[in-house]
Amino acid sequence: IKAAREASSHAYVPYSNFPVGAALVTTDGKVYQGCNIENASFGLSNCAERTAIFKAVSEDHLEFSSLYIYGETAAPISPCGACRQVVSEFCNADMPVYLLSKTGEVKETSVGQLLPYSFKELE
């Protein structure tokens, strides 16, 4: 939780002013932090969850145990559709995902609950 909150402080959000942080934990306990990074061409922006996953994968880590997503919001936030698909690609359906708010509220879910009937399940 602390790593996800800390990651949000590095967000580059000059357009939305909506910082998000993520912390992806590997099965061997390594933590990869990610933040959202905006661009004036919004389609070229990248979310915190994908940043954390891409960092981990680029360093050859492919086995994950949990994901924490923090937003400066009153209630826990949920990943966008693109992030749900990327999370589904690299994480098992039963892996826990913790949605976090600035008030300390935590909602636990799983990859499979966030994206039922994913492309990966069709293999």
Give the structural domain span for 22: 1-114
Q: What is the pLDDT along the chain (123 residues), one digit of tens a residue?
A: 999 999 999 999 999 999 999 999 999 999 999 999 999 998 999 999 999 999 999 999 999 999 999 999 999 999 999 999 999 999 999 999 999 999 999 999 999 999 998 887 666
Residue 26 token pair: 């590997």
Domain assignment of residue 97, yes or no? yes
Q: Indicate which residues carry an active-site annotation.
A: 49
Specify the CATH number for the domain of residue 84. Answer: 3.40.140.10
Residue 80 counted as an annotated binding residue:
yes
Domain assignment of residue 120, yes or no? no
Domains held by the chain: number: 1
pLDDT number for residue 122: 66
Residue 91 counted as an annotated binding residue:
no
Amino acid (one-letter) located at 42: F
Q: In what side-by-side order are the strands of the sheet with 96-100?
A: 31-35, 20-26, 64-71, 96-100, 106-110
pLDDT number for residue 123: 63
Residue 35 counted as an annotated binding residue:
no
